[in-house]
Structure 1
Amino acid sequence: MAATVSGTARADSDCVSGPFERTYEAETINVSKIANGRKEREESDKPVEDPPSDEQLENMKQGNEEIPPAASAQQVPDSNGLLDIGTEYDGIGDAFVLSGAEGRRVAMPSDAQVAVGRSKTVQVVNSSLAIFNQRSGNIELQVPLENMFDPVITEERFLDGMPKVVDPRVRYDPNADRFVVSTLWRHYPTVSGAMFLAVSDSSNPNGPWHLYRISVPIDIPGFTDYPVLGLDRDAIYLTELFIPDEFALGNFDVTLTILDKQAAYRGDNLPASNFTGLFLVPITGGVPLLHLTVQPAFQPFSGGDSGTYYLMASQTHKQVFFDIFDTGLTLWKVTDPLDEPSVTCSVITVDPFSGLGGSDPAIDGVRQPDTDVRVDPVGDRLMNLDYSDGSLWTAHATKYNWEDGPDEYVTAIRWYEIDPTTTEVLQSGTYGEPGTSYFIPRIETSGDRTLLGYNVSGPDTYPSIKAAGRTTDVPDGEMEDVVVIQEGKSPMEHPTKFSDRDPVKWGDYMGISVHPKTDHFWMTGQYSPDYDVPQDSEKPDQYGTRIAEITFEDEDARGDRS
């Protein structure tokens, strides 16, 4: 069944279909007046559709291939004092379980994100939004996401009496002094949904927010997953994966929604341009295949009506489920986003990397101490896209063999700096160490400083949060220093009654934000705390999150690093 779209279409390109024009109505809510408890909702008695089975996912896989070594690979450096942790405090953690048909139960990961303004820190996880006093770490307000977005939730039936408002993202726009939040709303039992968008009315996130419900521009039955938020000088960009009810690869799609940023900040009704079919220019046989995650860039001071905006994906001719290595990234360029948006695309050739997306935990899972249960590294999808001083920075996980032996594969991080004008890879590096896995990367750059945040886990390391940094003083492709944000304290094990997944869900991503005044990096992520869950417990294994300010020491203070 081919996907159909609704709206007014103007033009198509080789890279996308659209735009299809729509307008979304605004609602406003004052978060300081929302009760922190979950609202009671009517539970539906209709059956819930079962998610795709392991057998269905297995049918989508291809065979394994040997992965050629990367041209540049770096093992973790010794600490040299470049990085230091300033203010730090615990973030929010609220693991919960969602139920599906036939007793399927999944404990949700944190999906932790952070945005720092001048004096407030906003963190979102899969259940809540929290506002912190930036220096003391005291929580000024914590709001369940389903309560925050209640004015734009029209349905009344929820799974287990609880709505599914998940996959949150948050950004601070330093060009406008506003906070922006996006999230996914998935309605049961129809397994349909929408994206939600919220923008703070001012620099104070404790006050009013303008809310929007962004509908999926596809008219066949299905639901959405893994929404991503980006912005430039004039527009807000949302991408999402569309999964059809008829679970066939040809019916999948990735959509792009372009929104007028200033209209959203004013709380006006929101004109939008929707695109579908974010496909690659055909490689073989004239048939383009799908990208499952397309990352929109964070570039608040560029792009817009007078520049170029960028999006990128780590798949070209393979899927995120596939184990076969790939050799390219896909780059989309958007011009004139608000009046006559135009989208072009091209492929950037890079060193081979693996899919890490199969269902075999012995191949694709990340090891941890004291258990045979493995952690899901979330594949080789790009985890973010950052634009700084004319370069794009991005990173993903990849299967890697440091010892060049038959059974020595772990997960490592591949990161890139790319010139989007020439599509030249200016530098890239593969980062990690033998026997231990590095995954869920996030990379951000400010001036001559680059920070790479990630999770690390292995036979001797519980799932932890770390960060690596570099300046322009070191050779291309290398990180200069590493710092521990939060050590893990136990394995992450979901009791069988709560999850039939092995490897267990983790992540699905972390957050980094640059302070608008100090230029310091702030970071949040998920780790495994000291929390032992009995098999007969009614609660899932709990995650912890940590928020930390990371500074780069002055070069003179560090001394000679040669």
Structure 2
Amino acid sequence: MTTSRRARRVVPALLAALALSVGVGLPQATGATARPGAERKPVPATHTVHLSKPKLVTPIGNAMPKVLKSRGPLPTIPRKKLAELKAEAAKHPAKHGPGQTGGNRAEMPAAPPSQGSFEGLGEPCCIRPPDTHGAVGLGHFVQVVNGTGFGVFRKSDGALLKKVSFASFFKYTAQTIFDPRIVYDKKSNRWVISAAAFPENSTVQKVFFAVSTTSDPTGSFFVYTFDPPESSGEFYDFPQLGLSQDAVIVTANVFDSAENYVRSRAFGLAKADLYNGRLTNYPYFSLGKPGTVAPPVVEDNSTNAFLVAAGISNQLSLFRATNLGHSNATIVQQAGVPVAAYTVPPNARQPGTNNLLDSADARFQNASSQIGNQLLNVHTVNSGGFPRPKWYQINTSTSTVPSGRSGFVYESGTSDDFNPSVAGSSAGGTTTNPIGRMFFTWTSTNVNTGVSHQVRVKSGGRLATDPADVVGGNTHSTASTFYDPSSDTVERWGDYSAVTIDPSSTSTCPAGNRAYVVNERQISTTSWGSRIGKLGFCS
């Protein structure tokens, strides 16, 4: 994504003692996580705020967005320390990936097969990375990216039905709009889009929400704005979007004028108001400094929604939000979730160049899937000198990751894999394990002789009874040359991607057995595009 006078991206406040694979100490996130077995006091709601009066619009047009030069991510630890950790990770020779030697997949189950793919939105000019996100509905796939805005595709054949820039959609050109997200609420058949703009001055920064008035994303939307109630000079960044029974869930990070991480935020927007074009008030919670917090997409009718952050190298921070969308909403920090120690991944290598692709850090980049008392998400870590996505299925009743409910995602034992997303489905689930299907997307490269390849868009999945590691997967796109759009030695990539479960069913594919993925792809040495794919445990 592009940046203005403030640097652009949030690295989670991860990183405390003992780094896996690189053997270096990591600074602990500020704002200590609850000790195992303990539950902390409720986190405070520091403000009660409301969205603007909505405007009813039918989006058309492609007004040129403000274009600003890309910069590196805005870390929640000192930039120097993050650079040291990345450099240290790169010093250690990459070994074969976990659970695999030399790419032998003989004992791995077959991935859910690809069911086709089609071209997504591309780069309009000069804006990178794309912050690619998307969601599937009953008859459409809707994608949002930086610069271009949002595009509506027909599911059946991938035809692009509508493309609208955010500058046109939100009627706003004062600053660059960034970090777009979209979810499809299959309970209410509504599309929800969020995005933020860079600050206009020390006291004004616009955040946007749009909600379709029907299940048809080519039609009208209610468009809302709000100005985060932060102190003068503070910057609201990396907002994420989730859903619960009654609320649209939003999380974000806040930085001061010196670009120091000061807090993370969470709030719930009442669906009953948001979806009907009414003003909505909401408590605005301060979560402290756990790092980047991912909201969930809650797939059942639970009144609880669990938020998670990768904030400490051997522990995940977990929050329980109750009754979001209501005046009595509360958020309580749960016991920390112990996990195997992790650290930031090395950046990804490309054949034919010393230029690297930014593998980001160990934050959760996207919303979790929440089904029953299980919470599923994935992040990229250092595994034996490789960047590797690692997924966790958290038991929210016990704040644990049970044995067999965590694993790696990678193409082969010699590939660099990063920029992942995951979504879980209740199809095939049981009482003891309600997540019966998992679907992933990620980016992969390989520099090893004989198997080398440039950037690929990957997808894969697993059944609840499969081995923990997801290996191999489908390839939806492979670049023909390396990516080198700037003078930087580490090029921005992705920032995030998306996986969503198809809510529709057919005679050969019951609902919950198919997913759509979207990820950045490379069109040329200097320009990006995207690829939308589908895969399923069905035909």
**Bin for the TM-score computed over the shorter chain:** 0.7 to 0.9
Pairing partner for 2:329 from 329, 332, 341: 341
Q: For 1:425, what is the secondary structure of its paired residue?
A: coil
Relative distance call for 1:53 and 1:470 in structure 2 (3 A) is closer
* Aligned ranges 1:13-28 → 2 under 5 Å: 14=41, 16-28=43-55
Does the 8 A contact of 2:349 with 2:416 survive in 1?
yes
Correspondence 1:257 to 2:245: no
- Please give the alpha-carbon distance, in whole angstroms, between the structure 2 residues aligned to 1:56 and 1:439: 23
1:423 alignment partner in structure 2: 399
1:372 alignment partner in structure 2: 354
Correspondence 1:38 to 2:54: no
2:232 alignment partner in structure 1: 220
Does the 8 A contact of 1:410 with 1:434 survive in 2?
no
- Please give the alpha-carbon distance, in whole angstroms, between the structure 2 residues aligned to 1:52 and 1:481: 32
- Please give the alpha-carbon distance, in whole angstroms, between the structure 1 residues aligned to 2:43 and 2:125: 37
Does the 8 A contact of 2:208 with 2:225 survive in 1?
yes
Pairing partner for 2:389 from 413, 417, 437: 413
Q: For 1:83, what is the secondary structure of its paired residue?
A: coil
Superposed CA offset, 1:369-415 (max 9, x none): 111110001111012311124311111000111xxxxxxx1101111
Does the 8 A contact of 1:524 with 1:546 survive in 2?
yes
Correspondence 1:388 to 2:367: no
Superposed CA offset, 1:126-164 (max 9, x none): 1210011111211111000121111xx4xx7x4xxxx31
Relative distance call for 1:423 and 1:53 in structure 2 (3 A) is closer
Which residue type is aligned with residue 146 of structure 1?
A: A
Correspondence 1:171 to 2:183: yes
- Please give the alpha-carbon distance, in whole angstroms, between the structure 1 residues aligned to 2:203 and 2:415: 38
Q: For 2:273, what is the secondary structure of its paired residue?
A: helix
Instruction: Report how far residue 214 of structure 1 moved.
Output: 2.7
Superposed CA offset, 1:94-139 (max 9, x none): 2533xxxxxxxxx411111111111111111112100111112111
- Please give the alpha-carbon distance, in whole angstroms, between the structure 1 residues aligned to 2:138 and 2:241: 21
- Please give the alpha-carbon distance, in whole angstroms, between the structure 1 residues aligned to 2:72 and 2:463: 48
Superposed CA offset, 1:522-553 (max 9, x none): 11101222x24xxxxxxxx2112111111114
Pairing partner for 1:525 from 514, 519, 526: 519
1:492 alignment partner in structure 2: 483
- Please give the alpha-carbon distance, in whole angstroms, between the structure 2 residues aligned to 1:54 and 1:335: 27
Which residue type is aligned with residue 465 of structure 2?
A: D
Instruction: Report how far residue 503 of structure 1 moved.
Output: 1.2
- Please give the alpha-carbon distance, in whole angstroms, between the structure 2 residues aligned to 1:81 and 1:349: 31
Does the 8 A contact of 1:31 with 1:143 survive in 2?
no
Relative distance call for 1:480 and 1:265 in structure 2 (3 A) is same
Pairing partner for 1:353 from 337, 342, 352: 342
Relative distance call for 1:15 and 1:246 in structure 2 (3 A) is farther
In structure 1, stretches of 5+ residues that fail to align are 1-12, 98-106, 280-289, 317-325, 357-363, 402-408, 533-540, 555-562
Instruction: Report how far residue 508 of structure 1 moved.
Output: 0.8
Q: For 1:352, what is the secondary structure of its paired residue?
A: coil
Which residue type is aligned with residue 332 of structure 1?
A: F
* Aligned ranges 1:115-514 → 2 under 5 Å: 115-127=135-147, 128-150=149-171, 153=172, 158=174, 163-188=175-200, 193-249=205-261, 252-276=262-286, 278-279=287-288, 290-303=289-302, 307-316=303-312, 326-337=313-324, 338-345=326-333, 346-356=335-345, 364-384=346-366, 385-401=368-384, 409-426=385-402, 427-432=405-410, 433-446=412-425, 447=427, 448-459=436-447, 460-475=452-467, 477-479=468-470, 482-496=473-487, 501-514=488-501
Q: 4+ residue stretches of structure 1 with deviation over 4 A?
A: 49-56, 59-67, 78-82, 188-192
Identity of aligned residues (%): 21
- Please give the alpha-carbon distance, in whole angstroms, between the structure 2 residues aligned to 1:226 and 1:216: 13
- Count of aligned positions: 461
Q: For 1:58, what is the secondary structure of its paired residue?
A: helix
Q: For 1:351, what is the secondary structure of its paired residue?
A: coil
- Please give the alpha-carbon distance, in whole angstroms, between the structure 1 residues aligned to 2:236 and 2:527: 26
Which residue type is aligned with residue 18 of structure 1?
A: A
Bigger CA drift: 184-193 or 374-383? Answer: 184-193
Q: For 1:237, what is the secondary structure of its paired residue?
A: strand
- Please give the alpha-carbon distance, in whole angstroms, between the structure 2 residues aligned to 1:422 and 1:50: 38
Which residue type is aligned with residue 412 of structure 1?
A: R
- Please give the alpha-carbon distance, in whole angstroms, between the structure 2 residues aligned to 1:242 and 1:164: 18
Superposed CA offset, 1:161-218 (max 9, x none): xx31111111100110011111111135659523211110111111111111132121
- Please give the alpha-carbon distance, in whole angstroms, between the structure 2 residues aligned to 1:417 and 1:52: 28
In structure 2, stretches of 5+ residues that fail to align are 1-39, 428-435, 506-510
Q: Give the TM-score taking structure 2 as reference length.
A: 0.79
Does the 8 A contact of 1:192 with 1:222 survive in 2?
no
Superposed CA offset, 1:498-524 (max 9, x none): xxx431110011111111112320111
The root-mean-square deviation of aligned C-alpha atoms, in Å, is 3.0
- Please give the alpha-carbon distance, in whole angstroms, between the structure 2 residues aligned to 1:237 and 1:85: 31
